[in-house]
């Protein structure tokens, strides 16, 4: 009898532990499509010459505000621009 | 093979409770939502195919093809960011010359064949060789790009079936020195810290690591930390000015091999000026001296034993006395004053210090020693095992940790840090594998360099190469092949039977007698383990092209033909095999979670105990294996004490002289990954970086009459190639040094590299040899 009570206690405790977690888990479902919509895809390549030694600051000189017909960046806080934007075809 | 989505949905309900307990990156999947996107693109998650950082990417599939990849905003490693390689991943598998059918060499020509024909041929060659010359006449050369289960299959087949330890991965060329030092310092492989240290620390000291190009996303994470916390300092020590130096707070140049002297001098000052943490040292460390005047591996079959002699702290201090900053300055070129300053930075109790390194330290003829010395800095100052201050060796391949190290695909290793030389380890392994006692050979198999030397000598008759390109990435390549019929081609030197599984033609398929077309990345289900102990899973999302098949299937087909099919009796292959492998980890402090747990999370860092991942190993409050009340406990080391090794200065294997007056260093750059078999087929990457050049210091160039973009002949004692010179380009080597990236298969710089290696780790030194340059 005692062992049955012990077993029941264990079962109840495990259920009590697991159920709220399941409920909690359901509140934050994974939605890969929604995640993908939050973020950009292929970073545009650079259609003009870049000088070696140019820094994020050199890029932001035009791209922060969109001066000289440069596209304005959506992410001026990312300073290592060339990590994603590599030299592309140079338009003459 | 693999779990279908329906199987997975059933299993996921059961696993949800587990993951929910502790996974900080908790994300139970609701497949229905993901499939409901209206542009017809179905999204799923996978770790990036390329480097050891282990970024999470979202993979968009439409019409059975990968159409896009994005940085995963829910990925804890990269938080929505990728580097340029990751963004263009969708194109990496769709090069025009993708291998789609098995090919067999007949009369010197590669001819299409059926899988049965190819596999029967391989099996007959293997059987023949084993019967005539014993099991050690066959070998497997694998990869840190193998998935966990691909590596596990190979180890089980070769060590548990065929009965040879002739399995080694390309990771031997990449982070074996880190492994060597993790084992002899802490008694367990892989780091105590994690990437959170990049957000939580305030001082980052980089030892010869060009993180901005080789680990760009981690570099960005560090730069973000600095943007938010202006007290963050990044100090870049290197032999070449790089994009990393450009953004660092300070660049400190040193002479090649000078790290060995510089770190010793910093330790000298820490001892001299009493900057150490006596209580931490007393409680957590022992002192040792190893075998000195070590060899360089230049002779075949050279053996070396690092015999440890115990030292007292006083004896250690005595030994360190001659290694002064003034002594080191002469060797490394860093001013003595600067070395003293660095020692005081390491010893500053108000600063959270992180040392970061990668191939500069690991590909080093004293690589294990330099790793030891870096650990000494952290052990002496007690800056280890605590959030925000740790040493971290950055890994190069996506599963060098998960597969090569954790599964143990090295010649001497078994899963979970075990080794074939230990009878108890063999017994544990034989039990889990259900094979007869004594099946696993106690004799360690050859390391990568020795394996290819054995092929060259004719000792190994059959070798199967999967998921890597050794005939471009080994040092001293000319030893292993001869010129082919046409210019720019190569051919085998002897009648060794070579099988290569890959996705594109490479410099290694060029050597092959049989080429097998492989499935890659999300064309199969898989698991990778990254630098910070994060195990990440992905599902198969698209079919491989043509007849391409995954590497596990290929290995098991050989196993069946050799009579070892019984080793792989699984119905739900990936899950059952992973659960078998997981048994090795349980209770060891390397514990992995049940397979289904990984379906939903963007990876978990082991040990995963009671459903919780571990961010800092050996740290109380983070690692449940640590005894309460002790703070930090190196519980895997003998007597729970980490080793502080005395490691003096010894010279490089080859230094510049009158005939070959310049240093050559090789390495990576941002746009291409390793030998560029994938990135070289992505148009955006190829256009941005079409060819490898040799970077020369302007003063050295002037002496030789060389201008930027001139064609030059670069020669060492081992080889000679013609390439373009670059002055003041992206990287700027110090005077007397040159640099060439190794990705370009038309300019194989590794022909010039010396095949000297660290006597403990057997990792070759790709960073230092002597060359001369002539204008063409």
To the question of pTM greater than 0.80 for the whole model, the response is yes
Q: How far is CA B583 from the centre of its chain?
A: 24
- Report the C-alpha gap between B368 and B359 in whole angstroms: 12
- Range B264-272 average pLDDT: 98
pLDDT at B30 over 70: no
- Range B1-25 average pLDDT: 38
- Range B608-631 average pLDDT: 96
Tens of pLDDT, residue by residue over B107-120, are 999 999 999 999 99
Average pLDDT, chain B: 94
- Range B210-224 average pLDDT: 97
pLDDT at B25 over 60: no
Tell how strand B604-605 and strand B732-733 pair up: unpaired
pLDDT score of A17: 43
pLDDT score of B251: 98
Find the residue in B nearest to A42 (Cα).
Answer: B87
Burial B52-76 (b: 16+ CB within 10 A, else e): bbbbbbbbbbeeeebebbbbbbbbb
**Which residues on neighbouring strands pair with residue B534, listed in sequence order?**
B605
- Range B407-417 average pLDDT: 98
Residues of A in contact with B72 (CB under 8 A): 35, 39
**Residue among B174, B183, B211, B665 flagged as catalytic:** B174
Provide the pLDDT confidence category of residue A51 given band limits of 50, 70 and 90: confident
Number of residues that this document lists for chain A: 92
pLDDT score of B356: 98
Catalytic residue at B359? yes
Catalytic residue at B554? no
pLDDT score of A6: 57
> Is residue B147 exposed (0-12), middle (13-18) or buried (19+ Cβ within 10 Å)?
buried
Tens of pLDDT, residue by residue over B703-733, are 999 999 999 999 999 999 999 999 999 999 9
Residues of B in contact with A53 (CB under 8 A): 246
Tens of pLDDT, residue by residue over B147-187, are 999 999 999 999 999 999 999 999 999 999 999 999 999 99
pLDDT score of A91: 77
Residues of A in contact with B26 (CB under 8 A): 25, 28
pLDDT at B452 over 60: yes
- Range B676-685 average pLDDT: 97
Q: Which of A24, A39, A80 comes nearest B219 by C-beta?
A: A80
> Within 10 Å of residue B765's Cβ, how many Cβ atoms?
29
Residues of B in contact with A88 (CB under 8 A): 684, 687-688
Closest to B28 (Cα-Cα) out of A22, A15, A39: A22
pLDDT score of A52: 77
pLDDT score of A4: 55
More confident residue, B65 or B22: B65
Tens of pLDDT, residue by residue over B540-549, are 999 999 999 9
- Is B216 within 8 Å of A79 when comparing Cβ atoms? no
Instruction: Count, in order, helices (H) and strands (E) of chain A.
Output: 3, 0
pLDDT score of A53: 78
- Range B401-417 average pLDDT: 98
Residues with Cβ within 8 Å of B419's Cβ and at least 6 positions away in sequence, in order, are: B412, B413, B425, B444
User: Which of B51, B87, B218, B230 to mutate: most A Cβ within 10 Å?
Assistant: B87
Tell whether the torsion through CA atoms of B528, B529, B532 and B533 is positive or negative.
positive
pLDDT at B233 over 80: yes
Provide the pLDDT confidence category of residue A30 given band limits of 50, 70 and 90: confident
Percent over 70 (pLDDT), chain B? 95
- The CA-based dihedral angle spanning residues B378, B381, B384, B387, taken in that order and rounded to the nearest 10 degrees: -130
pLDDT score of B274: 98
pLDDT at B306 over 70: yes
- Is B68 within 8 Å of A55 when comparing Cβ atoms? no
pLDDT score of A5: 53
């Amino acid at each position: 009898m005692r062992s049955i009570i012990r077993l029941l206690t264990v079962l109840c405790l495990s259920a009590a532990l697991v159920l709220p977690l399941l409920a909690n888990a359901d509140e934050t479902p994974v939605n890969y499509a929604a995640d993908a919509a939050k973020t950009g895809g292929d970073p545009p390549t650079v259609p003009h010459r870049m000088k070696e030694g140019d820094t994020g600051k050199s890029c932001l000189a035009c791209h922060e505000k969109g001066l000289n017909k440069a596209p304005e960046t959506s992410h001026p806080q990312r300073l290592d621009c060339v990590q994603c934007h590599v030299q592309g075809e140079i338009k003459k | 093979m693999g779990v279908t989505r329906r199987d997975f949905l059933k299993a996921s309900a059961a696993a949800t409770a587990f993951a929910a307990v502790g996974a900080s990156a908790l994300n139970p999947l609701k497949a229905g939502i993901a499939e409901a996107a209206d542009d017809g693109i179905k999204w799923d998650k996978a770790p990036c195919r390329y480097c050891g950082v282990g970024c999470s990417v979202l993979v968009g599939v439409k019409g059975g093809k990968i159409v896009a990849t994005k940085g995963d905003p829910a990925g804890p490693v990269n938080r929505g960011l990728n580097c340029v390689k990751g963004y263009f991943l969708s194109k990496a598998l769709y090069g025009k010359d993708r291998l789609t059918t098995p090919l067999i060499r007949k009369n010197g020509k590669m001819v299409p064949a059926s899988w049965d024909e190819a596999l029967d041929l391989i099996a007959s060659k293997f059987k023949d060789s084993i019967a005539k010359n014993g099991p050690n006449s066959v070998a497997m050369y694998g990869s840190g790009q193998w998935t966990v289960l691909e590596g596990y299959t190979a180890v089980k087949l070769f060590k548990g079936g065929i009965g040879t330890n002739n399995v080694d991965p390309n990771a031997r060329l990449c982070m074996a020195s880190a492994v060597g030092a993790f084992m002899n310092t802490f008694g367990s492989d892989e780091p105590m810290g994690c990437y959170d240290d990049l957000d939580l620390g305030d001082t980052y000291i980089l030892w010869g690591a060009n993180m901005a190009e080789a680990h760009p996303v981690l570099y960005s994470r560090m730069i973000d930390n600095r943007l938010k916390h202006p007290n963050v300092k990044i100090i870049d020590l290197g032999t070449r000015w790089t994009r990393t130096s450009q953004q660092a707070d300070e660049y400190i140049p040193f002479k090649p091999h000078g790290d060995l002297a510089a770190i010793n001098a910093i330790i000298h000052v820490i001892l001299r000026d009493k900057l150490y943490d006596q209580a931490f040292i007393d409680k957590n460390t022992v002192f040792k001296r190893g075998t000195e005047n070590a060899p360089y591996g230049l002779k075949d079959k050279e053996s070396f034993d690092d015999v440890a002699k115990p030292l007292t702290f006083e004896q250690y201090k005595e030994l360190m006395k001659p290694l002064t900053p003034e002594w080191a300055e002469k060797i490394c070129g860093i001013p003595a004053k600067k070395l003293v300053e660095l020692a005081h930075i390491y010893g500053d109790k108000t600063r959270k210090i992180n040392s970061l390194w990668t191939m500069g330290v690991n590909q080093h003829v004293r690589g294990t020693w330099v790793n030891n010395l870096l650990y000494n800095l952290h052990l002496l100052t007690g800056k280890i095992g605590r959030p925000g201050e740790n040493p971290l060796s950055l890994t190069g391949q996506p599963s060098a940790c998960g597969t090569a190290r954790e599964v143990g695909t090295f010649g001497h290793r078994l899963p979970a840090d075990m080794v074939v030389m230990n009878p108890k380890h063999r017994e544990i392994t034989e039990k889990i594998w259900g094979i007869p006692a004594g099946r696993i050979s106690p004799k360690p198999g050859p390391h990568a360099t020795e394996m290819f030397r054995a092929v060259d000598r004719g000792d190994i008759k059959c070798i199967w190469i999967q998921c890597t390109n050794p005939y471009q990435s080994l040092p001293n390549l000319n030893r292993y092949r001869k010129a082919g019929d046409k210019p720019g081609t190569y051919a085998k030197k002897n009648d060794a039977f070579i099988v290569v599984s890959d996705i594109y033609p490479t410099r290694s398929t060029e050597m092959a007698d049989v080429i097998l077309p492989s499935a890659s990345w999300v064309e199969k289900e898989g698991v990778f383990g990254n630098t910070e102990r994060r195990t990440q899973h992905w599902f198969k999302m698209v079919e491989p092209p043509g007849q391409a098949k995954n590497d596990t299937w290929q290995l098991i087909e050989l196993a069946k033909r050799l009579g070892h099919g019984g080793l792989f009796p699984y119905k739900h292959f990936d899950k059952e095999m992973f659960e078998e492998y997981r048994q090795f980890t349980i209770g060891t402090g390397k514990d992995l979670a049940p397979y289904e747990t990984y379906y939903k999370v963007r990876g978990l860092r082991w040990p995963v105990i009671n459903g919780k991942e571990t961010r800092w190993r050996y740290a109380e409050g983070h690692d449940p294996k640590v005894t309460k009340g002790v703070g930090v406990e190196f519980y895997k080391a003998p007597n729970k004490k980490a080793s502080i090794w005395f490691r003096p200065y010894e010279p490089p294997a080859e230094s510049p002289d009158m005939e070959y007056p310049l240093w050559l260093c090789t390495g990576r750059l941002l746009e291409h990954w390793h030998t560029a078999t994938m990135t070289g087929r992505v148009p955006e990457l190829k256009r941005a970086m079409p060819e490898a050049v040799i970077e020369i210091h302007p003063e050295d160039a002037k002496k030789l009459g060389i201008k930027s973009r001139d064609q030059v002949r670069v020669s060492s004692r081992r080889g000679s190639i013609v390439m373009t010179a670059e002055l003041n380009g992206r990287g700027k080597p110090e005077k007397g040094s040159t640099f060439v990236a190794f990705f370009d298969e038309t300019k194989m710089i590794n022909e010039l590299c010396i095949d000297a290696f660290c006597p403990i780790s057997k990792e070759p030194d790709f960073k230092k040899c002597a060359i001369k340059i002539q204008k063409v």
